Amino acid sequence: MIRALPQQVVDRIAAGEVVERPASVVKELIENALDAGARRIDVSIAGGGLELVRVADDGAGLGAEDLPLAFAAHATSKLTDVDDLAHIASFGFRGEALASIGAVARCRITSASGEDGAGLSVTCEGGEVSAPAPLAAPRGTVVEVRDLFFNTPARRAFLGAVRTETARCRELVNALSLVHDEVRFALEVDGKSRLKGRPAGDLNARLAAVYDAEFAASMVPVSGHEQGLRLSGRLSLPAAARPRPRAQLLFVNGRLIRDRRVATAVRVACKDFLPGSLQPSWVLALSVDPACVDVNVHPTKAEVRFRDKELLFGLVRRACRAALLSADLTPHAQLASLAPPHTSGGPPRPSLPVIGQPDSAPGTPSQDPISGGRSPLLHGARGLPSSDSSSIPDADAGVSEPTPSVSPGLPSHTTATQPTLLSARAAVRFLQVLDTYLVHDGPEGLVIVDQHALHERILYARLAQARDAGQIERQRLLLPQTVRLDPLDLAAATERADEFKRIGLELAPFGHDLVAISAVPAVLRNEDPGALLMDLLHPRDLHGGIPDDLDRRLFTIACHAAVRSGDPLSEEDAAELLRQGSELEHDATCPHGRPTRLVVGKAEFERLFKRSGF
């Protein structure tokens, strides 16, 4: 039998949609204060917000006609008809927040709308509202919420510990204080002051007040404007990324919301600046015409719907990437300690070769450490064959075949007049350390370059450019190579055959558990095709959350093709590597987000050698 529910039950069900936890109460009361034009908002909580939530403001206040309706369901001053829902500019509009809170707590509102000190007070306990009582009060409103969920004990069982609920309330107040710079926020937790925010036009100052100065210094400005959307905020530098970021906040017209598409856009913008296990912090504020966003799609208004999602995604991605590209991404290293000098009676440590002062006689050609011939950087990727190698021509459109003397990864240099970094700046001296790192002097101090990471970045940039143009070069194999796969890998390889072809790897099923590889990316012509296929099927660095699988495949190809740790480089190699890196849009990290270089500044050397003060 269908029965109409008693009003008390209806009220408690409705409260469950709006009031999820104490932080929900804090949010609703602060938004009411903002709608009232407050310039000072004081928040106090006790017992994680279950014992007490108190919000006091200096806004417009409620008059004698309005206060009796404060706890009435769907009573509001912010809407008059259904057309108003199409362009909502206020934070509240449903008239259900106070009614929902009053249904599950013991509440008191004290408010005054004038400057004469005459105010009114009304209480609500479990939905039962008292008559207004006069009392003295300054202009503004004070809302006290005590014993939250006192009449719904089952709700309390699903809340976190007091410390957890307190942290949620603090995070919310901190977040709102960042974007509403016109309001002075204060937060008191269990009688102790936790925030004393003052209006400040600079977001960095507010970040330092809410978090700390180091966090604020790690952020770079983000800005963008397209077709009525205006984006501003801050994004953390890659060096400050963490597995669990300190802040990922989005505000739309001052309203704190969640939006997966925006979070994905930031992740995509940062994908080749960060390792996949780390995430950036960001605080972004979006201004948009209220008619272009629907805020009436979520019970707690924590999500909104945008009219043009693709425009928003593109704006966020481009603005965040531009912010990183304009920043100095080179980490400045601090050397905590140095190993003591060699003092034992054993043989002395070998001296390090200085690039630019080769041991061989002048005029001796540099040798490729892999093939014994020309340099892999100047004449192709690691181990590429010399000009007498043969390749099978291919007439397929979209993927071009290599010419014998031109590298698909780095351009060939066969004439003595080709400029290099050393010929252009003869004073620059290079040192190769551990056959892995290139060290040279720079304007800010000693620059240490990871040769593999930088070459990987260069190759990835070239491969991505060629992919976008449909011109990734491939090398046909004289005899197709078969690879045995388990059923899952065989299905995945077959399903992705077209995707692999776009990056130069051609394969086809060959029997019930084999695939035949007939062509490979030209930069990997000397690599094991089977090992390449397995790495493409099971990438070691998944870059969680990045939607572009093809990019991940290019990461793998670039990693395979790049000069490796342990490969000695000639003077010409090192200069060419640095020159080509300097021509890229972004060369501070490899495609996986690891740094390509570090800087050790003069001050760090002076600290290590205890020269400070001398």
DSSP class of residue 280 equals -
pLDDT tens digit sequence for 560-585:
778 888 888 888 888 888 888 888 88
| pLDDT bracket for residue 376 (50, 70, 90) | very low
Average pLDDT over residues 57-82: 76
The amino acid occupying position 612 is S
Contact 148, 26 (CB under 8 A): no
Residue 428, pLDDT score:
58
Average pLDDT over residues 493-505: 85
pLDDT tens digit sequence for 32-47:
999 999 999 999 999 9
Burial class (CB in 10 A: 0-12, 13-18, 19+), 520: buried
> d(Cα 591, Cα 552) in Å, to the nearest integer?
9
Residue 537, pLDDT score:
82
Residue 17, pLDDT score:
57
Residue 161, pLDDT score:
92
Nearest to residue 265, comparing CAs of 307, 316, 319?
316
Instruction: State yes or no: pLDDT of 594 exceeds 70.
Output: yes
Please indicate whether residue 122 or residue 582 has the higher confidence score (pLDDT): 122
Q: Which helix (H) or strand (E) holds 494?
A: helix 487-495
> d(Cα 57, Cα 59) in Å, to the nearest integer?
6
DSSP class of residue 77 equals S
| pLDDT bracket for residue 75 (50, 70, 90) | low
Residue 250, pLDDT score:
94
Residue 472, pLDDT score:
75
Contact 433, 446 (CB under 8 A): no
Instruction: Name residue 232's beta-bridge partners.
Output: 223, 285
| pLDDT bracket for residue 550 (50, 70, 90) | low
pLDDT tens digit sequence for 195-205:
876 656 678 88
Please indicate whether residue 406 or residue 298 has the higher confidence score (pLDDT): 298
Residue 228, pLDDT score:
86
Token representation of residue 174: 């901190």
For 341-405, give the DSSP string: PP-SSSPPPPPPPEETS-SSPTTPPP--TTTSSS-TTTSSSTT---TT--------TTSPPPPTT
DSSP H helix total and E strand total for the chain: 17, 24
Q: For the chain, which domains are there?
A: 3-197 (3.30.565.10), 208-325 (3.30.230.10), 332-603 (3.30.1540.20)
Q: How many residues does the chain have?
A: 614
Residue 404, pLDDT score:
36
Taking the C-alpha atoms of 432, 434, 435 and 437 in order, what is their torsion angle to the nearest 10 degrees? -50
Average pLDDT, the chain: 77
Average pLDDT over residues 14-29: 81
Contact 251, 284 (CB under 8 A): yes
Residue 298, pLDDT score:
62
Q: What angle do CA 27, 32, 33 make, to 5 degrees?
A: 100
Residue 348, pLDDT score:
45
Instruction: State yes or no: pLDDT of 8 exceeds 70.
Output: no
Average pLDDT over residues 477-485: 88
> d(Cα 459, Cα 456) in Å, to the nearest integer?
5
Instruction: State yes or no: pLDDT of 99 exceeds 70.
Output: yes
Average pLDDT over residues 299-311: 79
Residue 347, pLDDT score:
47
Please indicate whether residue 90 or residue 65 has the higher confidence score (pLDDT): 65
Average pLDDT over residues 478-504: 86
Residue 122, pLDDT score:
94
The amino acid occupying position 367 is Q
Instruction: State yes or no: pLDDT of 185 exceeds 80.
Output: yes
pLDDT tens digit sequence for 338-372:
444 444 444 444 433 333 434 433 334 333 333 33
> d(Cα 108, Cα 29) in Å, to the nearest integer?
12
Alpha-helical (H) ranges within 192-350 are: 203-210, 213-217, 260-269, 309-325
Query: 372 — phi, psi (to 5°)?
Result: 80, 5
For the stretch 185-211, what's the b/e string if a residue is b when 16 or more beta carbons lie within 10 angstroms of its beta carbon? bbbbbeeeebbebeebeebeebbbbbb
Taking the C-alpha atoms of 244, 250, 256 and 259 in order, what is their torsion angle to the nearest 10 degrees? -90
- Give, rounded to a whole angstrom, the gap between the first and last alpha carbons of the chain: 92
> d(Cα 449, Cα 595) in Å, to the nearest integer?
9
Nearest to residue 459, comparing CAs of 404, 521, 417, 505?
521
Residue 9, pLDDT score:
60
At residue 68, the 3 state secondary structure works out as helix
> d(Cα 148, Cα 146) in Å, to the nearest integer?
6
Contact 172, 75 (CB under 8 A): no
